[in-house]
Amino acid sequence: MRSEVGRLKVEWLKGEGALFNPSHLAVRPTLNLELSTLNFSFRPVSAPEFNIKYVAHLARLKLSPEEETQLGAQLGNILGYIEKLKEVDVTGVEPTAHAFPMVNVFRADETRPGLSNEDALRNAPKKTNGLFVVPKVVE
Amino acid sequence: MLHRLTISELTARLARREVSARDAMQACLDQVARADGAIKAFISHNPADALTQADAADKSIAAGADFAQQPLLGVPMALKDVLAVKDHPLNCCSKILGNFVSPYDATVVEKLKTAGAVIFGRLNMDEFAMGSSTENSAFQTTRNPWDTSRIPGGSSGGSAAAVAADECIASLGSDTGGSIRQPAALCGVVGMKPTYGRVSRYGLVAFASSLDQIGPFTKNVRDAATLLEVISGHDPRDATSIPQPVPRYTQALTGDIRGLRIGLPKEFMVGGLDPEVKRAVDAAVTHLQSLGATVQEVSLPHTDHDVAVYYIIATAEASANLARFDGVRYGARVDGVDPLEMYGNTRGAGFGAEVKRRIILGTYVLSSGYYDAYYLRAQKVRTLIRQDYLRAFEQVDAIVTPTTPTPAFKLGEKSGDPLQMYLSDIFTIGCNLAGIPGLSLPCGFANASQPSALKSQPRLPIGLQLLGKPFGEETLLRLAHAYEQSTPWHKEHAL
């Protein structure tokens, strides 16, 4: 199946003042970042796998129907692109959560000055009696 | 013309009492008034407060203040709208923060104030630092000072454009995947992302916590060293900041780079590169060689996966960090019948398209059933990318690449296609994933060879990227300074 990204590349090559004009391509027989970045096939992620409504609910994000359609299509493209990570052999590789892992970063257990109640509530959209006000949680 | 000075030039004149901090501040305010209608780098600034701060600096100078202790005394600076300055607005160029006013100073802002800087404005950015062109700002679109039909880069586009247009003497930005280096390159100024953990992020609104760093935008390398020295250091309020002594970075600027080993990653200097960018970077490498550096090829074999790894890790972390913007404690709120509906309404109305796209992607890659396939796998490939860099640094002292594949592109050129926009960051992302320092400095111009009579296109700056070992900032600054001082590029002004 012809990928969206593949199509994108063809358009770039054709486009006026194209970023990736073929005449720009070096002839060195090394890994070509541009081609290897873009030239791969993938299976477009379709509706059953990528349920935009479900993910938007998880993210607490209300989307309009137009946004659902547009984001769904764009994310399908992007997910297709990141599928390429499946090419990499990661057997026995530890994950990196931070470049310089710092463990057990403690501070002395002492009271310190913090924000006053007034400062903490300064930017509250709704407040009363020194508290944040939110819609009713239970009936 | 005081606005055109560098930090070191201005402070030298202030120290000799030839000029006042008020004059320097007024010159910058005048330049903002003159230029910013076209450039649109500033979201807000407060001239009265700026002049009051400048007067205070003049009093300190009159009382005999020591510029060795306060290296930024009287220097007008503006900051990316992602850093907290007490009692100043903070919006991250998003609608969702409403009329937010910072209740405290970021650690870097405390340090700037202690060093005497005059902080007078908020600079435009892509909303929550998500973007490569500053077109994702909910406020305005910043223009490239060298050609106002083009983008300044992003996400710290306002910071880069304000320095390039001489609207402030220096600025700070934040860099998660290139957001300092890329706009610095496209606007023809110096931009630096320090080693992960070098600079405290307390008071920086978080985007991707394992990648974000704060860094300087300056008109030359010496100023970058001065500013880095001021903002670096361990901070107990940021548990990821690293307790490592801060060197005197300005003392690294010896001009002598003989024997330094430079690596050219073969995966970077290949097809897809704009021919003028390639020509400028090749010439810069030859120039560094002529100054006594040695050059060899190195390999970063997993470079090809940088963008994919980045857009999984950065969006996953962003989806968690941005959960706090829910309309409860600060910012704008759109009501609902219950808290859940209020969260959705607030976030749906408050976030722009790119932020929504990344939150959705990040939520998806972390969601049940996909975590291992995307997020965990990306973290493992990140390990391989980092190992590539550390292995390369066993052979060389610094890696040299173009900062961007092309000069500044046109406004609107890529805004309709997120993936194409993401791919413009291919050269800057690896640095953040590996946690190493990176610096971009001007190394020439595109369209420079056109005879001026036939000049149909403006000249566009090209950036050279230097990448260093963890905590190798001194080597990068030394290399950059030696290159800069023997080339003409930094002497050119956009306006």
User: For B167-176, what is each residue's pLDDT tens digit?
Assistant: 999 999 999 9
- Does B434 contact chain A (CB < 8 Å)? yes
Q: Hey, are the CB atoms on B103 and A115 less than 8 Å from each other?
A: yes
Mean pLDDT of chain B: 95
Q: Is the dihedral of CA A51, A57, A60, A65 positive or negative?
A: positive
Three-class secondary structure of residue A105 per DSSP: coil
A69 domain-assigned:
yes
Q: Which two tokens stand for residue B9?
A: 């030039």
pLDDT at residue A31, as a whole number = 31
Of A71, A93, A125, the CB nearest to B332: A125
User: For A63-118, what is each residue's pLDDT tens digit?
Assistant: 999 999 999 888 888 888 888 899 999 999 999 988 887 788 888 899 988 899 99
Q: How confident is the model at residue B215 (pLDDT cuts 50, 70, 90)?
A: very high
Q: Are B181 and B438 in contact, with CB atoms under 8 Å apart?
A: yes
CA distance B105 to B172: 14
- Sort out which chain A residues have CB atoms less than 8 A from B342's CB and list them: 134-135
If asked whether residues A3 and A35 sit together in one domain, one would say yes
Q: Hey, are the CB atoms on A77 and B336 less than 8 Å from each other?
A: no
Give the mean model confidence (pLDDT) for residues B298-323. Answer: 96
Of B271, B330, B342, the CB nearest to A35: B271
- Sort out which chain A residues have CB atoms less than 8 A from B420's CB and list them: 8, 12
Q: Name the DSSP class of B203.
A: T
- Sort out which chain A residues have CB atoms less than 8 A from B353's CB and list them: 67, 71
If asked whether residues A1 and A34 sit together in one domain, one would say yes
Mean pLDDT of chain A: 71
- Sort out which chain A residues have CB atoms less than 8 A from B239's CB and list them: 102, 105
- State the helix-helix crossing angle for B306-321 and B377-392, rounded to 10 degrees: 120
Whether residue A42 is predicted with pLDDT greater than 90 in this model: the reply is: no
Q: Hey, are the CB atoms on A58 and B367 less than 8 Å from each other?
A: yes
To the query of whether residue B179 is one of the catalytic residues in this protein, the response is yes
Q: Which two tokens stand for residue A110?
A: 């002492």
Whether residue B459 is predicted with pLDDT greater than 60 in this model: the reply is: yes
3-class SS letters over B360-406: HHHHHHHCCCCHHHHHHHHHHHHHHHHHHHHHHCCCCCEEEEECCCC
pLDDT at residue A100, as a whole number = 82
Pairing of strands B261-265, B294-298: parallel
- Does B301 contact chain A (CB < 8 Å)? yes
Q: Which of B179, B200, B241, B415 is catalytic?
A: B179
Q: Hey, are the CB atoms on B341 and A79 less than 8 Å from each other?
A: no
CA distance B268 to chain A (A): 7
User: For B33-55, what is each residue's pLDDT tens digit?
Assistant: 999 999 999 999 999 999 999 99
The residue behind tokens 């994108």 is: A8
Least confident of A82-96, B132-146, B259-273, B474-488: B259-273
pLDDT at residue B449, as a whole number = 60
Which residues have C-beta within 8 Å of that of residue B367, sequence separation ≥ 6? A55, A58
Q: How confident is the model at residue B418 (pLDDT cuts 50, 70, 90)?
A: confident
Query: Going from the N-terminus, what domains does chain B have, and what CATH number goes with each?
Result: 2-308+375-491 (3.90.1300.10)
**Number of Cα atoms under 13 Å in the Cβ half of residue A108:** 3
If asked whether residues A64 and A29 sit together in one domain, one would say no
Q: How confident is the model at residue B422 (pLDDT cuts 50, 70, 90)?
A: confident
pLDDT at residue A19, as a whole number = 31
Whether residue B27 is predicted with pLDDT greater than 80 in this model: the reply is: yes
H/E stretch holding B134: none
Compute how many other C-beta atoms are within 10 angstroms of the C-beta atom of residue A111. 5
Whether residue A18 is predicted with pLDDT greater than 80 in this model: the reply is: no
Q: Which residue has the higher pLDDT, A76 or B265?
A: B265
Give the mean model confidence (pLDDT) for residues B406-416. Answer: 92
Q: How confident is the model at residue B456 (pLDDT cuts 50, 70, 90)?
A: low
- DSSP sequence for B292-360: T-EEEEE--TTGGGHHHHHHHHHHHHHHHHGGG-SSSSSS-----SSHHHHHHHHHHHHS-HHHHHHHH
Q: Hey, are the CB atoms on A61 and B378 less than 8 Å from each other?
A: no
- Sort out which chain B residues have CB atoms less than 8 A from A81's CB and list them: 307-308, 311, 419
- Does B89 contact chain A (CB < 8 Å)? no
Q: Hey, are the CB atoms on B196 and A99 less than 8 Å from each other?
A: yes
If asked whether residues A61 and A37 sit together in one domain, one would say no
pLDDT at residue A21, as a whole number = 30
pLDDT at residue A39, as a whole number = 33
Give the mean model confidence (pLDDT) for residues B137-163. Answer: 98
pLDDT at residue A50, as a whole number = 75
- Sort out which chain B residues have CB atoms less than 8 A from A100's CB and list them: 196-197, 240, 242, 435, 470
If asked whether residues A35 and A56 sit together in one domain, one would say no
Give the angle B413-B416-B420 at the CA atoms, nearest 5°. Answer: 75
pLDDT at residue B35, as a whole number = 98
Whether residue B311 is predicted with pLDDT greater than 70 in this model: the reply is: yes
CA distance B187 to B379: 33
Whether residue B200 is predicted with pLDDT greater than 80 in this model: the reply is: yes
CA distance B254 to B340: 59
pLDDT at residue A58, as a whole number = 96
Three-class secondary structure of residue B412 per DSSP: coil
If asked whether residues A57 and A68 sit together in one domain, one would say yes
Q: Which residue of B has its CA nearest to A104?
A: B239
- Does B471 contact chain A (CB < 8 Å)? no
* Cβ contacts from A onto B, under 8 A: 230
**Residue A100, phi then psi, degrees to nearest 5:** -125, 85
Choose from B150, B211, B264, B360 for mutation: most chain A CBs within 10 A.
B360
CA distance B410 to chain A (A): 11
Q: Which two tokens stand for residue B347?
A: 């976030």
To the query of whether residue B80 is one of the catalytic residues in this protein, the response is yes
To the query of whether residue B20 is one of the catalytic residues in this protein, the response is no
A139 domain-assigned:
no
Q: Hey, are the CB atoms on B435 and A98 less than 8 Å from each other?
A: yes
Amino acid at site B70? Q
A80 domain-assigned:
yes
Q: Are B162 and B78 in contact, with CB atoms under 8 Å apart?
A: yes
Compute how many other C-beta atoms are within 10 angstroms of the C-beta atom of residue B363. 24
Q: Which residue of A has its CA nearest to B349?
A: A62
Domain count, chain A: 2
pLDDT at residue B450, as a whole number = 55
Amino acid at site B52? T
User: For B364-407, what is each residue's pLDDT tens digit?
Assistant: 999 988 999 999 999 999 999 999 999 999 999 999 999 999 99
- DSSP sequence for A38-87: H--------TTT--HHHHHHHTT----HHHHHHHHHHHHHHHHHHGGGGG
CA distance A133 to chain B (A): 8
CA distance B424 to B132: 8
A35 domain-assigned:
yes
Give the mean model confidence (pLDDT) for residues B415-424. Answer: 80
Choose from A61, A69, A118 for mutation: most chain B CBs within 10 A.
A61
Give the mean model confidence (pLDDT) for residues B214-234. Answer: 98
CA distance B377 to B371: 8
pLDDT at residue B362, as a whole number = 97
**Residue B379, phi then psi, degrees to nearest 5:** -65, -30
Q: Hey, are the CB atoms on A59 and B100 less than 8 Å from each other?
A: no
**Residue A80, phi then psi, degrees to nearest 5:** -60, -40
- Does B99 contact chain A (CB < 8 Å)? yes
A107 domain-assigned:
no
Choose from A9, A19, A133 for mutation: most chain B CBs within 10 A.
A19
**Residue B217, phi then psi, degrees to nearest 5:** -115, 125
pLDDT at residue A106, as a whole number = 86
If asked whether residues A13 and A37 sit together in one domain, one would say yes
Q: Which of B8, B155, B171, B232 is catalytic?
A: B155
A96 domain-assigned:
no
| Structural domain of A80 | 43-88
Give the mean model confidence (pLDDT) for residues B64-83. Answer: 97
Whether residue A139 is predicted with pLDDT greater than 90 in this model: the reply is: no
Is the peptide bond preceding residue B20 cis, with omega within 30 degrees of 0? no
* pLDDT above 70 coverage of chain A, percent: 64
**Number of Cα atoms under 13 Å in the Cβ half of residue B266:** 10
Q: Are B102 and B233 in contact, with CB atoms under 8 Å apart?
A: no
If asked whether residues A56 and A23 sit together in one domain, one would say no
pLDDT at residue A35, as a whole number = 33
A132 domain-assigned:
no
Q: How confident is the model at residue A40 (pLDDT cuts 50, 70, 90)?
A: very low
Give the mean model confidence (pLDDT) for residues B420-448. Answer: 92
CA distance B345 to B354: 17
- Sort out which chain A residues have CB atoms less than 8 A from B348's CB and list them: 61-64
Nearest partner of B440 among B163, B226, B131, B224, judged by Cα? B224
- State the helix-helix crossing angle for B353-366 and A65-82, rounded to 10 degrees: 60
If asked whether residues A4 and A15 sit together in one domain, one would say yes
If asked whether residues A6 and A31 sit together in one domain, one would say yes
CA distance A24 to B278: 10
pLDDT at residue B398, as a whole number = 98
**Residue B480, phi then psi, degrees to nearest 5:** -65, -40
Q: How confident is the model at residue A49 (pLDDT cuts 50, 70, 90)?
A: low
pLDDT at residue B272, as a whole number = 74
If asked whether residues A53 and A84 sit together in one domain, one would say yes
Of A88, A90, A134, the CB nearest to B339: A134
- Sort out which chain A residues have CB atoms less than 8 A from B340's CB and list them: 60
Q: How confident is the model at residue B192 (pLDDT cuts 50, 70, 90)?
A: very high
pLDDT at residue B451, as a whole number = 53
**Residue B172, phi then psi, degrees to nearest 5:** -120, 150
CA distance B431 to chain A (A): 10
Q: Are B308 and B378 in contact, with CB atoms under 8 Å apart?
A: yes
What is the signed CA dihedral for B164, B165, B166, B168, rounded to 10 degrees?
A: -80
Q: How confident is the model at residue B271 (pLDDT cuts 50, 70, 90)?
A: low
Q: Are B291 and B486 in contact, with CB atoms under 8 Å apart?
A: yes
CA distance A11 to A53: 31
Of A8, A38, A71, the CB nearest to B357: A71
If asked whether residues A36 and A48 sit together in one domain, one would say no
Three-class secondary structure of residue B470 per DSSP: coil
- Sort out which chain A residues have CB atoms less than 8 A from B297's CB and list them: none
A79 domain-assigned:
yes
